[in-house]
Amino acid sequence: MYGVIDLLKLVAKIRQINSELALIGALLIRHDERQSVCKLIDVEITNNTKIKQSAIAQMSLHALDKTSKVSRAFKEIPAIPLNLMDV
């Protein structure tokens, strides 16, 4: 869970400015199915070369290849009802 503590520290700093801020979840973008840290949603964002390519090209996954598996997986996330994420 690298980075989670940094994320929580950032949220705490932002809450000093906006006390009504609510963290509804975090998107884990590097999935390793051998490690089951937590399971929040059924959408699986795999560690894919397209992610690295889009970062190097400084463009979105959709712009790089909208038909790739990882791009399609990101498109599924907005369809997940917030009540499934304990909001």
Q: Whose structure tokens read 């964002």?
A: 45
CA dist 77 → 26, 31, 40 (Å): 12, 15, 11
The structural domains of the chain, with segments of one domain joined by +, span 27-85
Dihedral-angle region of residue 43 (phi above 0 means left; psi in -120 to 50 means alpha; beta otherwise): beta
Is residue 85 within 8 A of residue 41, CB to CB? The reply is yes
Reading the block at residue 37, the tokens are 């840290």
Per-residue pLDDT of the chain (87 residues; tens, 9 = 90+): 456 788 788 888 989 999 888 877 766 666 566 655 555 566 777 777 888 888 888 888 888 888 888 888 888 877 766 655 554
